[in-house]
């Protein structure tokens, strides 16, 4: 999860991650546009379990990644999210 690791080291928790995204050369708007242009990924991100994981990742990235590293559903969605962001050039890892 290179994207999440970089966001965590850049301060994902501060200001909702806006500054961290800027340091990666993107914005929340760009990320949302990239994600929601893929309806299947957007639907997977809306699953309650995945939403909970994302909330925990935002609050405490290190602890959440340890918690969910063995969760196939959550990790599959996070992997798909990273691939989508890389493929669209939203974030360069």
Task: Look at residue 11 and tell me whether its pLDDT is greater than 50.
Answer: no
Task: Look at residue 12 and tell me whether its pLDDT is greater than 50.
Answer: no
CA-nearest of 39, 18, 33, 30 to 92 is: 30
One-character DSSP codes across 64-78: HHHHHTT-HHHHHHH
- Which residue ranges make up each domain of the chain? 2-87
**Length of the chain measured in residues:** 93
- Residue identified by tokens 């590293």 is 69
The pLDDT of residue 52: 94
The pLDDT of residue 72: 94
pTM here? 0.67
Task: Look at residue 93 and tell me whether its pLDDT is greater than 70.
Answer: no
């Amino acid at each position: 999860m290179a994207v999440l690791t970089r966001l965590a080291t850049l301060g994902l928790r501060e200001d909702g991650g806006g500054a961290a995204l800027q340091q990666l050369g993107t914005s929340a708007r760009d990320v949302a546009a990239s994600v929601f242009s893929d309806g299947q990924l957007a639907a997977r991100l809306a699953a309650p379990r995945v939403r909970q994981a994302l909330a925990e990742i935002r609050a405490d990235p290190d602890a959440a990644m340890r918690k969910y590293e063995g969760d196939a559903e959550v990790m599959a969605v996070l992997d798909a999210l990273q691939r989508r962001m890389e493929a669209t050039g939203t974030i360069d890892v």
